[in-house]
Amino acid sequence: MTMTFEIDDEAVARAYADRWWLFLISGILWLFLGFIILSLRPASISVLVILIAVAFWLGAMTQFALASVTSGGWRVVTIIGGILAIAAGIATIVWPGPTLVVISIFVAWYLLIRGIFDVAMSLSHTHVHGWWMVLIAGIIGIALGAWAIGNPDRSVLLFVTIIGIWTIFKGAADLMAAFTYRNMKKDFTPA
């Protein structure tokens, strides 16, 4: 069995247009989480662990929503990404004893890998309106992830701020994508 990474341009555009509301929900949830993260100043590691787990699970939901609009090898990749995000969220809750360095490394690598995935997906879907929004989100994810990986000894407050900024940007990008895809839906409906 071979896995294909071929893309049917019109099918992808129709799938995005038909499921524009998934991006709307995702964007609202990402923004909500980002504002919560930036408004709370966690005094304990347990609060930080819960926020990180929620971010992982929201990332998994986004990956599964993306799997509903992709096909072939990309669908497999997005499903695996979602499963890994769920596992990372569970691991964060189950083993809160590890130091903040270990948790920050998980998040930093997630941002880096997710950023790479977003860049790859956007560059392979340049025919879809709004592809550049995912590209920008991916580049920011790569930059924040690489920066966090470069020095895992950063303070808790600084690391929470990085996560908050990324989630807000991701939410804004998903909201813009939702409205772009909703407008695309008009192109596919018969006049």
Helices marked H in the chain: 9-18, 20-39, 45-67, 72-94, 100-124, 131-150, 156-188
Flag residues of the chain having pLDDT under 50: none
| Predicted local distance difference test score (pLDDT) of residue 177 | 84
Structural domain of residue 58, as residue ranges?
10-184
Burial 47-70 (b: 16+ CB within 10 A, else e): ebbbbbbbbbbbbbbbbbbbbebb
Q: Would 190 be classed as within a structural domain?
A: no
Q: Would 136 be classed as within a structural domain?
A: yes
| Predicted local distance difference test score (pLDDT) of residue 7 | 55
**pTM assigned to the model:** 0.60
Q: Would 5 be classed as within a structural domain?
A: no
**Count of the separate structural domains present in the chain:** 1
| Predicted local distance difference test score (pLDDT) of residue 190 | 62
| Predicted local distance difference test score (pLDDT) of residue 95 | 79
Q: Would 167 be classed as within a structural domain?
A: yes
| Predicted local distance difference test score (pLDDT) of residue 85 | 92
Q: Would 112 be classed as within a structural domain?
A: yes
Q: Would 17 be classed as within a structural domain?
A: yes
| Predicted local distance difference test score (pLDDT) of residue 123 | 92
Q: Would 16 be classed as within a structural domain?
A: yes
| Predicted local distance difference test score (pLDDT) of residue 18 | 82
Distance separating the N- and C-terminal Cα atoms of the chain: 41
| Predicted local distance difference test score (pLDDT) of residue 152 | 61
Q: Would 102 be classed as within a structural domain?
A: yes
